Amino acid sequence: MSDLQKIPATIVTGFLGAGKTTLVRHLMQHANGRRIAIIVNEFGSLGIDGDTLKNCGIPGCEEENIVELANGCLCCTVADDFLPTIQALIDRPNPPEHILIETSGLALPKPLIKAFNWPGIRSRVTVDGVVTVVDGPAVAEGRFADDPEAVAAQRAADPSLDHDNPLAEVYEDQINAADLVVVNKADLLDAAALSALRAQIATQLPRAVKVVATREGALEPTVLLGINAAAEDDLAARPSHHDAEDGAHEHDDFDSMLLVMPEFASPEALMTRLQAAAEAHDILRLKGFVRIAGKKARLAVQGVGRRFRHSYDTDWVDSREGHLVVIGETHMDREAIAKMILG
């Protein structure tokens, strides 16, 4: 089968909360009837992203077009989860015209790109492009940078050490794999900061790759799809911190917990607690759905670092309880965070 007949797949990667789901949603909204299947993967056992997409009401986001892999990071479960999933998609009587894969924010893209070389997959699907979504203000604030003094001290003890900041390693692997970098949340940066950030990212990229800035992931499908990269043929150009271990790695720098949420009197009562917890603790990501007294609809809550958003979405089904997923580094104080949120 020639490349022209292979089904193109786009990998959307980027750190926790960068705006991957927002970008996928915008893309689906502008898909113009193109048959796109979505595979969505999350760190943490609750499928919030899949749920958000299935309930967004956009044509194409119906349940049968969205496959959730909510059990660990795609990069570590490629053989068990990803390969059978993509195989099933391409074996459908009416296979998708394009496949979108949204990785978890902690996933390293390279093992996933490699999977497209597996027999049975290689001849039928190709990686059209790796789109790396970057949280503009978070990078500009130095969230993914090392503390030079801490690195020097740790290197003295262990010369093989790369980074003192585990976020830096994931971020660099995601940038290194990119065929297109999307600097998202441009609304939170002024023109000078944005242009400095673009220059900084250009120096970090291992090869010439287009960098585009946007807000709310609002890019035309023509920018995101049809890159024609065949990334699976081009692995050497995408260096990873885990190349020496042949992709093997742990996610033990990060931790997640699931909180069963009581009903809150108002969104404000909830947000006050969440904001206080985020100020006091280094929470990387917080998301879920919470019950608000007197409301039929569930309150969708999204937190990235200290920034929060909330809005009502679909009605609760039966008497289901609210849940929040909290993701942080391994040393996060689970008990103290839970106490601040739950009271």
Ligand X SMILES: Nc1nc2c(ncn2[C@@H]2O[C@H](COP(=O)(O)OP(=O)(O)OP(=O)(O)O)[C@@H](O)[C@H]2O)c(=O)[nH]1
Residue nearer to ligand X on the CB measure, 121 or 274: 274
Residue nearer to ligand X on the CB measure, 97 or 216: 216
Residue nearer to ligand X on the CB measure, 112 or 121: 112
Site stretch for ligand X (CB under 6 A), options 159-167, 210-218, 253-261, 291-299? 210-218
Site stretch for ligand X (CB under 6 A), options 76-84, 118-126, 170-178, 214-222? 214-222
Residue from 147, 162, 216, 253 touching ligand X (CB under 6 A): that is 216
**Distance from the Cα of residue 62 to its chain's centroid:** 20
The number of residues that bind ligand X (CB under 6 A) is: 21
x/- binding map, residues 36-75, to ligand X, per CB under 6 A? -------------x--------------------------
In whole angstroms, the minimum distance from the beta carbon of 74 to ligand X comes to 12
Tokens found for residue 30: 């502008």
Q: Residues 274 to 303: which contact ligand X by CB under 6 A?
A: 285, 302
Check binding of 185 to ligand X (CB under 6 A): yes
Query: Interior CA angle at 157 toward 152 and 158, to 5°?
Result: 90
Instruction: Name 315's bridge partners.
Output: 297
3-state helix, strand and coil shares in percent for the chain, rounded to the nearest 5:
35, 25, 40
Positive or negative, the CA dihedral 98, 23, 214, 218 is positive
Check binding of 85 to ligand X (CB under 6 A): no
**Distance from the Cα of residue 200 to its chain's centroid:** 21
Q: Provide the residue type at 46 as one letter.
A: L
Check binding of 110 to ligand X (CB under 6 A): no
Residue from 56, 188, 297, 340 touching ligand X (CB under 6 A): that is 188
Strands 283-290, 297-304: pairing kind: antiparallel
Helical ranges in 158-306 per DSSP H: 166-176, 191-204, 221-224, 267-280
Calpha distance 327→340 (Å, rounded): 15
Q: Which helix (H) or strand (E) holds 56?
A: none
Residue least distant from ligand X (Cβ): 105
Strands 254-261, 322-329: pairing kind: antiparallel
Site stretch for ligand X (CB under 6 A), options 31-39, 121-129, 215-223, 238-246? 215-223
**Sheet with 322-329, side-by-side order of all strands:** 254-261, 322-329, 283-290, 297-304, 307-315
Check binding of 90 to ligand X (CB under 6 A): no
Residue nearer to ligand X on the CB measure, 6 or 289: 289
Residue nearer to ligand X on the CB measure, 18 or 292: 18
Residue from 11, 18, 219, 299 touching ligand X (CB under 6 A): that is 18
Check binding of 323 to ligand X (CB under 6 A): no
Site stretch for ligand X (CB under 6 A), options 14-22, 123-131, 162-170, 267-275? 14-22
Instruction: Name 37's bridge partners.
Output: 99
C-alpha R_g of the chain: 20
In whole angstroms, the minimum distance from the beta carbon of 145 to ligand X comes to 19
DSSP annotation string for 263-308 = PBS-HHHHHHHHHHHHHHS-EEEEEEEE-BTT-SEEEEEEEETTEE
Residue nearer to ligand X on the CB measure, 19 or 111: 19
Site stretch for ligand X (CB under 6 A), options 80-88, 121-129, 157-165, 179-187? 179-187
Where do contacts with ligand X occur on this chain (CB under 6 A)? 14, 16-22, 49, 105, 184-185, 187-188, 215-217, 285, 302, 304, 309
